[in-house]
Structure 1
Amino acid sequence: MGESGFILMVILCILNVLWWGWKMLDWIWWRPKKLERLLKEQGIKVTPYKLLLGDLKDNMRLFKEARSKPMNLSHDIAPRVLPFDLQTIQKYGKNSAFWFGTTPRLYIMDPHLIKDVMNKHDHFQKIKGNQFLRFFLSGVVLYEGEKWAKHRRILNPAFHMEKLKRMVSAFYTSSNEMVSKWEKLVTSNGSCELDVWPEFQNLTGDVISRAAFGSSYEEGKRIFKLQDEQAEHFIQSFLTAYIPGFSLLPTKRNRRMKEIYREVRTLLMGIINKRQKVMEVAEAANNNDLLGLLLESNNNEIQENKNKKNVGMTIDEVIEECKLFYFAGQETTSVLLVWTMVTLSMHSEWQVRAREEVIQVFGKNKPDFDGLNHLKIVTMIMYEVLRLYPPLLFFDRCTYKNMKLGELSLPAGTQLMIPTVLVHRDRELWGEDAEEFNPGRFAEGISKATKNQVSFFPFSWGPRICIGQQFATIEVKMALAMILQRFSFELSPSYAHAPTTVITLHPQYGAQIILHKL
């Protein structure tokens, strides 16, 4: 290489270093400061910017401190489950933002703005960038645009009310097994102490296995165990999730998340292949479970659009939807059941009213679909539990182009956070008793309770509302009705009130309940 060639190479290396240096500086300083300035000009208060991690370290520190001890027995759970966000809003007001790494995240708490964000899902999209999410969950809950529309269209028939009616027998069978087991435990002296949290996880796992895959919980419990572990790893990954390339490093957690991803995929592939073989042999195979209905709907989509490109779901996409069945189907329902039991143990007068209604509708007979839909008091209680203990504490979105939101002009790259647990207990929206358990507020339905505002959205809202909402609520009503028919219950002295988030809202130390046989 001649001298001129060497000089040219040195110049190119210097230019490359300068280019990467400029990109790095833009990422960690210039772009964040530009976004900060644009927000502040519109009256939005922003927390002081800290290089690279933003407020993530403070957020995690406060979260760990909150988790370190139980709280008093009350429904004021926000200081424990969203301590950083609560403190930020108390200090800077609702019209404020914090730093999620190098990106500002703006709180959205006004019902009119929440409605806009939820309705305009093509403009305010799910946040991309967490490199670890692909190992945990995908499917319709994360897709956007035409892909989301296609998957939602294929999935909708499986969750039609007429199809859900067929699954009520699976709800009953699983619930009956659980309460029969409980009856044996209380036989000797008429009462016993039981941690109902693992009981409900097993119940909802059993239900989703029967209703989604036509198999018993035994066949699916390995998947549940793996997905639970993956959820823990996913939560722990947040400090590093937005550092480019970090998920590629061979750390212990990264290796384990990839192992779990591969194993869950293999297990689900086996279940799907078995079902497809049955369907090939017998066209009129029993497709009353979610997997059968999904595969049937997918085949119909492909047949009806055989001359078009990219129709139907691939086998990998079916696997991702099945993972979503497993996680969402178990988590949402077990969480709602456990907090309903805890809350009714704290408020015995509502437990009595719920039991009286169940006995009036069913007596000691097997609950049926029509009767479950006539349980007004149980429904009011369920809504109030969802208000105070929503499964997901917040929803987040992002602008991928310059957007108007109310009076705000949001630059591309602004993230939005809708803190469900804070909106659900906002006194300006719910009154002075917002922190209190009062199912009566839902006596005339959700619209009346919310004054037709978007201030109650435990399953999201708008076009992207959770597709499994009816599945979860019918399952909860079945289990609760059967428990109320057989037992009264109260909190054990050993119970420690400690709601915490592991993707959804869990009882950190379990839910110890004393059951009394009726």
Structure 2
Amino acid sequence: MEVTVAGWVAVIIVSISIVVRSAWSVLDWLWLKPKRLERCLREQGLQGNSYRLLCGDTKEDSIMRTKARSKTMNLSDSHDIGPQVDSFVDKTVKTYGKNSFVWIGPVPRVNIMSPKDLREVFTRHDEFCRPVTNPLALLLTSGLFFWEGEKWKKHRRIINPTFHSEKLKLMVPAFHQCFDEMMKEWESLVSKEGSSTALDVWPSLQNMTANAISRTAFGTSYQEGMKMFELLKEQAIHVSKALHGIYIPGWRFLPTKTNMKINEINREIYGILRSIIEKREQIMKAGEATQDDLLGALLESNQNHIQEYGKNNKNVGMSIKDVIEECKLFYFAGQETTSVLLVWTMVLLSQNLNWQDRAREEVLQVFGSNKPDFNGLTHLKVVTMILFEVLRLYPPIVEHNRTIPKKTQLGKYSLPAGVEVRLPSLLIHHDNELWGDDANEFKPDRFAEGVSEATKNQLSFFPFGAGPRICIGQNFAMVEAKLALAFILQQFTFELSPSYAHAPLYLITLQPQYGAPIILHRR
């Protein structure tokens, strides 16, 4: 009996100990640690709202986002879209200055806006890691974008040859096919109306870039890729909502309606990709030549990597799961980046007809009535200036965030472990101190002498990121955008429809909330 009582006493003591430790951990996570971090940041001169239990600034951020989405902007005034797109961060910087922070739940996120500090963050990528605030984001896209350390180095080494210029050149016929299909669709609509028609070009550009990435990524399996496009569009909506809320550890495992839908879509995408990849691997094993597409180039590079670094070591190359994740990243990033770049380019050229005329004159001078080709792209100086200016004013990704695993010195600040840093590209691209009083105006000629001259050799323009982890697909996106814009300029002139409502919306990428109705005129 005494042993039994002693046993029960031990169980009770252990249980109480576990409960106390758990309660202390929760208290530390919810209150003690955030307050320690806040005190540390304020002692160094950084300013922001006081920490509010659990929610931090997310509630106010959500309210301001909702309010901003209910309004439109006057496009003719300026392109100062910070208050519309990233309203809370814009307000924070205006209230507390550039040396400020915001609260993402119980985690403080410091705004980094000094070009010197920005370069440090991008360069020291082992110390400033990509945060996974909500693991649900990985179901939308992961791959090279999120990997760290040796895995990132291995994947970057394998994927690099996939985006070599000679590989991209081989994909031009696939681009031409997609552009031709869109041009025929637009010409048909114009013919029905006479010599011009009003068309929301945003869905057309999305479908065209989805078609292009499907053909260039998966070759003959492009129809399955188009199915994936629809699934990823739906997934982006669910994930975006989740990312703007507070993530509670373990919540993603609960059988909520949203969680079940996200997991269902992920399984379907995974199944499509596994089927495509396994078929392609069988073809390669049979000794047939690889196709001139991204998947073929990736599998070929992976095979070469395995042969070079050790056939018997399973960890040398990429697994089929790794390849699937990289394909998701190809698809989502490749389609989204180019479609938003093209839609904002058409909107701004519809507003600035003099620049549209200059770009068209250049395209006709370089290509005439022939299909734009890869070699001619280097001669499109005006087109390049325009695309850079669009990327400055309307960057596809409006901010880059990093987390700090351990205490780190950045410039004059000693940032404690657990703090995140925000690199607000949108606000930096519009900063008067860096770009001048005309920072919110569309002036492509600021890039006439190249990016280095426009930025005075400072890191103040980074639509694709910067440093060793700069977006590996940036050349792919720029080649596609230049070719597509050249096709459009050859065949149409265009202007904004009176029904156009300017309302940039950040939903994973920066998109036109109400589409882009534009009046097309056949040349």
TM surpasses 0.5: yes
Secondary structure of the structure 2 residue equivalent to 1:206: helix
* AA matched with 1:104: P
The answer on whether the counterparts of 1:287 and 1:296 sit within 8 Å (CA) in structure 2 is no
Q: Deviations over 1:191-236 (max 9, x none)?
A: 0111110101111011111111103653322211111111111111
SS at match of 2:55: coil
Instruction: Say if 2:58 and 2:246, in contact at 8 Å, map to a contact too.
Output: no
**Residue equivalent to 2:316:** 311
**Pairwise CA distance, 1:407:** 1.1
Give 2:480's aligned residue.
Answer: 475
- Segments of 5+ residues of structure 2 without an aligned counterpart are none
Q: How many angstroms apart in 2 are the aligned matches of 1:287 and 1:219?
A: 16
In structure 2, relative to structure 1, the CA distance for the partners of 1:240 and 1:182 (3 Å cut) is closer
Within a 5 Å distance, the mapping from 1:53-452 to structure 2 comes to: 53-73=55-75, 74-188=78-192, 189-215=194-220, 217-238=222-243, 240=245, 242-283=247-288, 285-306=289-310, 307-308=312-313, 310-452=315-457
Distance in 2, Cα, partners of 1:218 & 1:269: 15
1:37 aligns with 2:42: no
Letter in 2 for 1:383: F
Aligned partners of 1:205 and 1:217 also within 8 Å: no
Alpha-carbon distance in structure 1 between the residues aligned to 2:415 and 2:308:
41
> How far 1:98 sits from its partner (Å)?
1.0
1-structure distance, mates of 2:512, 2:220: 28
Assess if the C-alpha contact under 8 Å between 2:290 and 2:297 holds in 1: no
CA contact (8 A) 2:221 2:276 kept: no
Q: RMSD of the alignment, in Å?
A: 1.2
How much has 1:282 moved relative to structure 2?
A: 3.0
8 Å contact kept, 2:137–2:243: no
Percent of aligned pairs with the same amino acid:
57
Of 307-316 and 334-343, more deviation after overlay is shown by 307-316
Which of residues 501, 505, 514 in structure 2 aligns to 1:509? Answer: 514
Aligned partner of 2:241: which letter?
Q
Change (3 A) 1:425 1:483: same
Distance 1:14 1:360 in 2: 80
Is the 8 Å Cα contact of residues 131 and 241 (structure 1) preserved in structure 2? no
The size of the alignment, in residue pairs, is: 517
Superposed displacement of residue 57, structure 1 = 1.1
- Matches of 1:238 and 1:457, distance apart in 2: 23
Q: Given residue 11 of structure 2, which amino acid in structure 1 is its aligned partner?
A: M
Residue deviations 1:1-36 (CA, integer Å, cap 9, x gap): 633333332222222211111111111111111111
Q: Which amino acid aligns with 1:505?
A: L
1:7 maps to 9
Q: Residues 455 and 6 from structure 1, CA distance in 2 versus in 1: closer, same or farther, beyond 3 angstroms? A: same
Report how far residue 264 of structure 1 moved.
Answer: 0.2
Hey, what's the Cα distance between the residues in 2 that align with 1:130 and 1:446? 34
Which runs of no fewer than 5 residues in structure 1 stay unpaired? Answer: none
Aligned partners of 1:215 and 1:47: how far apart in 2? 54
Relative to the length of structure 1, the TM-score reads: 0.98
Give the deviation of 1:241 after TM superposition. Answer: 5.1
Spell out, residue by residue over 1:68-103, the C-alpha distance to the aligned partner (whole angstroms, 9 max, x if none): 122221412111110000011111110011111111
